[in-house]
């Protein structure tokens, strides 16, 4: 069987890089990977990680999801514009008090995270419909299901992504085109570290002192604990995404972190929204010390589990 052509966006780092390398180095050689990024000058890390796969099962191309002509040019360079699997991964983040975010920055985020996906699908879907086959995989977020304090605009972009895909999936199925949303929780990438660094340097004079204090001394501290305790690696997300891609009947939604399933379920347990709102309020403002202790305990347990795995591997056990 001929290898599937997989086009992935946002491959200069993080999840995109990890997934591109994972698929390109597939032992069964089931995939031909087109790894794209806005600036190919930043392709060094991907090229190094791909190793001998570069030029064989992986090629790097320029694609800016905010530029229709860039998307079109990339697809026109693919023989027959034939894409079996599109992985929409490119995205930007934003966290902080709403009053401190510029409207231009919010619009840029929506242009990348939401309209970037729309532009890609508009170009790829017609060919998939004509062939009556294809798979669109979207790297969404658990924040597309549940908003998180101080992530107002980022969550809004992911809610838009989820609504777009939820509306489109039924029509797509008529043409034998699958759509899948991969919904990670916290992922430890340069993406997140950059957000933290920007948050530390940000100007909070446009909000009130209490809100600024809650963000810098409560949210950022707890957020770091969440990432350290519950965060997954880009490689973890790549493995989950591979499972979605190779599934005989791809799921519409796939959450990568079981720790966040109760959070999503809590929202649906009470249609009024009171239950989940109250739970989050108490978690943030009343029981934050308990939250931090719990997260540190989880981190310790995960560390011990990792050591057991490493020991078993050294002893020759799988």
Concatenated DSSP letters of the chain: -PPEEEEES--SSHHHHHHHHHHHT-TT--EEEEEEES-GGG-HHHHHHHGGGBTTTEEEEE--TT-HHHHHHHHHTSGGG--SEEEE-------S-GGGS-HHHHHHHHHHHTHHHHHHHHHHHHHHHHHT-EEEEEE--GGGTS--TT-HHHHHHHHHHHHHHHHHHHHHHHTTEEEEEEE---B-SHHHHHHHHHHHH---TTS-HHHHHIIIIIIHHHHHHHHHHH-B-HHHHHHHHHHHHH-SS--SEEES-GGGHHHHHHHHH-TTSHHHHHHHHHHHHTSHHHHHHHHHHHHHHHHHHHHHHHHHHHTT--
CA distance 128 to 174: 11
Q: Is this structure's pTM higher than 0.85? A: yes
Provide the 10 A C-beta neighbour count for residue 254: 18
Residues belonging to the binding site are 10-38, 64, 141, 158
* Mean pLDDT on 290-317: 53
* 219, 292 contact by CB (below 8 A): no
Neighbours of 234 (CB within 10 A): 22
What's the pLDDT tens digit per position in 36-90? 999 999 999 999 999 999 999 999 999 999 999 999 999 999 999 999 999 999 9
Q: Annotated active-site positions, please?
A: 154
Lowest mean pLDDT among 58-72, 241-255, 274-288: 274-288
Phi-psi category of residue 271: left, alpha or beta, with phi > 0 → left and psi -120 to 50 → alpha: alpha
Say if residue 226's pLDDT is above 80.
Answer: no
Question: Whole-angstrom Cα distance, residue 95 to residue 62?
Answer: 28
Tell the residue number behind the tokens 């997260």, with chain if given: 295
Rounded CA-CA distance 7/86 in Å is 5
Tell me: the pLDDT tens digits for 8-49?
Answer: 999 999 999 999 999 999 999 999 999 999 999 999 999 999
Binding-site annotation: residue ranges for substrate: 141
pLDDT tier for residue 310 given thresholds of 50, 70 and 90: very low
Feature table: binding site for NADP(+): 10-38, 64, 158
The full set of domains in the chain, from first to last, is 4-270 (3.40.50.720)
Segment 241-266 shows an average pLDDT of 89
Mean pLDDT of 214-243: 88
Cα separation, 225 vs 63, in Å, equals 35
Integer Cα distance of 242 and 244 in angstroms: 5
């Amino acid at each position: 069987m001929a290898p599937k052509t997989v086009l992935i966006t946002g491959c200069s780092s993080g999840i995109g890089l990890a997934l591109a390398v994972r698929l390109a180095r597939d032992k069964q050689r089931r995939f031909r990977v087109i790894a794209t990024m806005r600036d190919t000058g930043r392709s060094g890390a991907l090229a190094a990680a791909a190793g001998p796969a570069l030029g064989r099962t992986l090629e790097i191309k320029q694609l800016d999801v905010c530029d229709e002509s860039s998307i079109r040019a990339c697809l026109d360079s693919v023989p027959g514009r034939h894409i079996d699997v599109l992985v929409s991964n490119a995205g930007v983040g934003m966290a902080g008090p709403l009053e401190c975010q510029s409207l231009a920055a919010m619009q840029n985020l929506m242009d990348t995270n939401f309209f970037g996906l729309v532009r890609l699908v508009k170009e790829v879907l017609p060919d998939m419909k004509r062939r009556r086959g294809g798979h669109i995989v979207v790297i969404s977020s658990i924040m597309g299901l549940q908003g998180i304090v101080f992530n107002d605009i980022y969550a809004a972009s992911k809610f838009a992504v989820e609504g777009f895909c939820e509306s489109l999936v039924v029509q797509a199925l008529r043409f034998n085109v699958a759509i899948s949303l991969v919904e990670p929780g916290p992922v430890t990438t340069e993406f997140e570290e950059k957000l933290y660094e920007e948050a530390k340097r940000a100007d909070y004079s446009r909000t009130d002192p209490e809100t600024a204090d809650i963000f810098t001394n409560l949210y950022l501290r707890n957020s770091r604990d969440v990432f350290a305790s519950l965060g997954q690696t880009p490689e973890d997300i790549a493995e989950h995404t591979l499972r979605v891609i190779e599934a005989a009947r791809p799921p519409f939604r796939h959450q990568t972190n079981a720790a966040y399933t109760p959070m999503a379920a809590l929202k649906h347990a009470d249609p009024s929204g009171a239950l989940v709102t109250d739970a989050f309020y108490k978690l943030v403002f009343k029981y934050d010390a308990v939250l931090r202790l719990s997260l540190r305990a989880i981190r310790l347990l995960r560390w011990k589990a990792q050591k057991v795995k490493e020991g078993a591997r050294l002893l020759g056990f799988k």
